[in-house]
Structure 1
Amino acid sequence: MADYNRYGHSYGGGYSSHTPPPSAPPAPVPTTSAPPPSSYGYGGYPSAYPPPPPQAAGGFGYGFVPVAFPPGTHPDVERAFRAADRDCSGAIDEHELQGALSTAYHRFSIRTVRLLTFLFNDPASSSPSRMGPAQFVSLWNCLGQWRGIFDRYDRDRSGKIDSRELTEALRSLGYAVPPSVIELLIANYNNGVPRNGALDFDNFVECGMIVKGLTEKFKEKDTRYTGSATLTYDGFLSMVIPFIVP
């Protein structure tokens, strides 16, 4: 029987909103002024955003609909969600999510945002293109962990991950991706040319999520963890297409 670690361990708390968010602290929300002493290094509220609406006791009821954040959600993450939820509907669409993530982390393409929405949204949601507070918190914390991995392996501090750094980063997560696949991944974000290509944080997240997601889907078929599985044509397309056509 093959070693389970060949597939990699679960990282980032999974994709489902039913999974508790990781214990790692959330990434900071940028601020243009010095944070108050009570911020504990997370930064203050961005001056570009209006003050958040008042919140009722217990974390419910701001704006037009009741909104509940998971217990222990950092106030800065709540503020980021409220700032993105301009219409106070209790959910944010892909463009609002793009704005929130781009402000806090890095400029995210709408393609990456759509993939993240697909991966983190509740499959039973009546609005699959909109994200609620629980899913937003799970995604936010997960991206904080991916940011830590990116910074750790961007050893030359170029702001990009090259093929060697990408291989090491994925291996640190338990994914032994062969060089031929690494070249395909790099080429996908470099106009089809793998040589001297590199990924910024946006592309690194998308690439990592695809590797993780497809690995998890493959493991469902490879129940003995042998590294091989039998798939029907329909099953193969159903597994792959959601990750490449977000």
Structure 2
Amino acid sequence: MYDLRKSPPDLYRIIQKALERGSLMGCSIDITNTFDMEAVTFKKLVKGHAYSLTGVKEVQFRGGLVKLVRLRNPWGEVEWTGAWSDSSSEWNQIDRSECGQMRVKLEDGEFWMSFSDFQREFNRLEICNLTPDTLKSDKVHKWSTSLYEGAWRRGSTAGGCRNFPATFWINPQFKVHLKEEDDERDGTEPGCSFLVALMQKDRRKLRTAGKDMETIGFAVYECLGQSAVHLKRDFFLTHGSRARSDLFINLREVSSRFKLPAGEYLIVPSTFEPNKEANFCLRVFSEKLAESEEFDDTISANIVQEEEVPEHKIDEKFKSLFRQLAGEDMQITVKELQTILNRVVGKHQDLKMDGFSMDSCRCMINLMDRDGDARLGLTEFNVLWSKIRKWLGVFRQFDLDKSGTMNAYEMRLALESAGFKLNNHLHNLLITRYAEPDLSVNFNNFICCLIRLESMYRSFTMLDTDRDGVVTFDVYQWLTLTMF
């Protein structure tokens, strides 16, 4: 969409290329009040009508080139009466054969006018760029297109715009590799032309629930040499954008055209404010073939194997404490573990939580229980205690505001520090499961999340005997894994 009062200097070339690629174009004259609708100007243009732009031509006129555009009023009858209109004298001063091909004296609503008059008389130009599957003709130069479906979700992928540097980096990220420069330069700097179109999906369905369009936009960064992993906050704090959408606006689709040097670029679509949820579709149209991909982390886990210390090497004070807590059977049950942990955590005033839940303690015992009796012996409890101390250090490190809880974005960094790299979809699932309604994550939920991740990853690794990243199991194994 172009405001013709602020159009780019190469707009005429943009129109030419759009027509070559079968794009649909419409233009209109703005109305200022209801009385303007259908009003006819002095030179017979109708305000508020949607004219279509159907052709362009440069002709020799009085010793120079004149840029012309062909427009059509679908209603017919009323046509432009200014320069280059059907009956104007300008046609008598150009080549006869060219005149015969272009000039049609019919009241069919179609007419020519100079590009300068077009920019002066009309206010708005909209270009609809069609995907290759829409274009059946072999005569048109088809766009190279890439399409990605995505979503902004609270706490995991809805980071807001660049005004929010603490969370902007969590937005979905897409790379486009522009390899070939445009064929025709017209005296301009060499570069690669491409369009970015960001559309929010399904919003009309949500109007019944009182939800309108979100305010959306995007930014484009140069990312030469970056591996295809989700870029973190530091990248965006040290790199400025090379281009961006003209504005953030609550329209169904926001699109912009750019021309940048050949290279690799990162597109970051976002809502204006963080934690605004919506599904979106991102399309990139390029004049030449361009490669693209989504930047996301590959799922992996770097789990440090805690060494099980023999009983005779365990500190005597720890042994004495364990005897007091475990009782005569020297085994800790789920209930006893809950009592122990809550007594210890209660001494840490900086942790905001109501204590460990039975579910968390059950998960811990399932992770550490080697003999399957749902209890922990001295050596098993010693390993678990080492893990909890280590994870407490991670929790405190990423509780950046020292609030006693982590927010959803801090948790993403904390999980990576603990050894787990997860993609956007998994982060969204974890936040849905372990975060409170205000997106805070307390120490109990953080520990429970890590325990489940480690337990599931260990189970997968055990079943993946040929290390190809794929396992096959029967219903018994599936139920064992998911229920216990």
Distance 1:146-1:76 versus aligned 2 partners, 3 A rule: farther
| One-letter code aligned to 2:304 | Y
Quote the residue 1:20 is aligned against: 308
Structure showing greater relative contact order (alpha-carbon pairs closer than 8 Å, 6 or more residues apart): 1
CA separation in 2, counterparts of 1:187 and 1:179? Answer: 12
Q: CA deviation at 1:162?
A: 2.1
**How many Å separate the matches in 1 of 2:345 and 2:413?**
22
Offset at residue 188 of structure 1 (A) = 1.9
2:318 aligns to what? 77
Of all paired residues, the percent bearing the same amino acid is 23
Aligned length: 179
The offset of 1:210, in angstroms, is 0.7
- Report deviation, 1:70: 2.3
1:203 aligns to 2:445 (yes or no): yes
TM-score normalised to the size of structure 2?
0.34
Residue 98 of structure 2 is aligned to residue 98 of structure 1: no
2:199 is matched with none
Shift, 1:241, TM fit:
1.9
Whole-angstrom CA distance in 1 between matches of 2:339 and 2:385: 13
Which stretches of structure 1, 4 residues or longer, exceed 6 Å deviation after superposition?
none
Unpaired stretches in structure 1, ≥5 consecutive residues: 14-18, 22-68
More strand by share: 2
CA contact (8 A) 1:153 1:165 kept: yes
RMSD: 2.6
3-state DSSP class of the match of 1:100? helix
Which string of whole-angstrom CA distances, capped at 9 and with x for unpartnered residues, describes residues 106-150 of structure 1?
Answer: 5211111111111112225xxx23322121111111111111111
**What amino acid maps onto 1:206 in structure 2?**
C
Equivalent of 1:130 in 375, 380, 387: 375
Q: Which amino acid counterpart does residue 7 of structure 1 have in structure 2?
A: S
| Kept after mapping to 2: 8 A contact 1:12/1:142 | no
Residue by residue over 1:29-80, the C-alpha shift from the partner in whole angstroms, topping out at 9 and shown as x without a partner, is xxxxxxxxxxxxxxxxxxxxxxxxxxxxxxxxxxxxxxxx724433443343
Task: Give the whole-Å Cα distance in 2 for the aligned partners of 1:188 and 1:181.
Answer: 11
- For 2:461, which of 192, 199, 219 is the aligned residue? 219
| 1:8 alignment counterpart | 301
- The one-letter code sitting in structure 2 at the alignment partner of 1:236 is W
Which position in structure 1 is the counterpart of 2:402?
157
The alpha-carbon distance between structure 1 residues 227 and 179, as it changes in their structure 2 partners (threshold 3 A), is same
Please identify the structure whose Cα radius of gyration is greater: 2
Secondary structure at the counterpart of residue 181 of structure 1: helix
Q: CA shift at 1:225, angstroms?
A: 4.7
Following superposition, the deviation at residue 235 of structure 1 comes to 2.9
For residues 466 and 418 of structure 2, what CA distance do their matches in structure 1 show? 21
Give unpaired runs (5+ residues) of structure 2. 1-297, 347-354
Name the amino acid aligned to 2:429. Answer: L
More helix by share: 1
2:479 alignment partner in structure 1: 237
